[in-house]
Structure 1
């Protein structure tokens, strides 16, 4: 397997990480694989739905990051992995898995992917998407109400009780680990072009050799 480039895309909730990730994926298609940290939320079958609703999903301990690290290492070695699939409507892992195959470029996306040093050290490029807090909460409300079946009250409560304090404690400080800070995520055409050029050079380097 040719050398694989691993790019981490981090940032707060609603910052535009997914938009940036999608733009890159659209541009390079089969040459890029995306691994979402969200799919590695821990399974909690022992809890009721109501109990799971009360968990803090914005703390590093909410994730099975060790499993993600194991999977990224396997992908880098050219192995295929079975990635868990998380169901946000029930706050738990589903019984489904997604097969992820190694490609020339692997994007890792998540709010807390720079918080863990072992995971961070696997990345060749670390991108932090930095967006105003007011914009992020509005995007979060729209997404969670429309796509995840949440009530407005529950989204606002979760934001104030866990999302905002965890962002300030863990996400914002992790920005210091970034190689590139992108303002406004996928809307930042200049930053997107720079990333695309770097990825293009990696994907096509054998042609120039």
Structure 2
């Protein structure tokens, strides 16, 4: 991980213009931890935008389910954040354009991400979260995509979602296969548009692709 952070810093330090970086991947893949480490390493002014605030909250969806095909068989499950329909992409696209135009914006206030002012004139802007992968206007100076195997994801979710967020372990486990199916169908195929692809399975950091 540290090697990749150093490489990204080299790109930033030699760039004459502002840099926009996208960091994405499925839930519990390690993208947020990496983004925070990257932010801590920067010696220049930066913006950090967590795109989880652009995910439509489950309470607004009610009993909304999606039908899709997995290995030739029909599957029905609730819409998760691994599907583009769960993300308010028009608003995210607009806000990124605001920053690219050098203006300021105030982020959405959430319990996990307090409201803050982002300034488009800053040297570095990091757009981190699942939503970034689904953007049709995918125009970033640098992009990193994270993924991990199902077992590692589930173990991380147990620590985060159950121990820290108080969610039901049984519900978490029962939803895991459906979540991975949706991820494989709707999100993982988008990885090829990223400059860097990282496999973070078994807590081992492996770069599968790098166009640095």
TM-score relative to the length of structure 1: 0.72
Inter-partner Cα distance in structure 1 for 2:28 and 2:59: 28
Distance 1:97 1:134, change over 3 A: same
> Partner residue of 1:108?
127
Equivalent positions of 1:185-196 (< 5 A) are 188=205
Which of 143, 150, 154 is equivalent to 1:126?
143
Inter-partner Cα distance in structure 2 for 1:43 and 1:55: 11
> Partner residue of 2:192?
176
Alignment root-mean-square deviation, CA: 3.1
Query: Contact conserved, 1:81 with 1:100, CA < 8 A, in 2?
Result: yes
Which of 7, 11, 21 is equivalent to 2:35?
21
SS of 1:126's partner is strand
Distance 1:137 1:43, change over 3 A: closer
The answer to which structure, 1 or 2, has the higher relative contact order (CA under 8 A, 6+ apart) is 1
**What 5-or-longer segments of structure 2 have no aligned partner?**
1-15, 65-77
* Higher mean displacement: 177-186 or 123-132: 177-186
Q: Greater share of helix residues, 1 or 2?
A: 1
> Partner residue of 1:85?
109
Inter-partner Cα distance in structure 1 for 2:109 and 2:204: 28
* Higher mean displacement: 66-75 or 2-11: 2-11
Instruction: Give the C-alpha shift of residue 101 in structure 1.
Output: 2.4
SS of 2:108's partner is strand
Instruction: Give the C-alpha shift of residue 46 in structure 1.
Output: 6.0
Inter-partner Cα distance in structure 2 for 1:43 and 1:14: 18
SS of 1:166's partner is helix
Query: Contact conserved, 2:24 with 2:146, CA < 8 A, in 1?
Result: yes
* Higher mean displacement: 151-160 or 6-15: 151-160
1:3 aligns with 2:22: no
Which of 121, 127, 140 is equivalent to 2:157?
140
The C-alpha deviation readout for 1:38-63, integer Å capped at 9, x for no partner, is: 11123677677x98xx6533321111
Instruction: Give the C-alpha shift of residue 167 in structure 1.
Output: 0.8
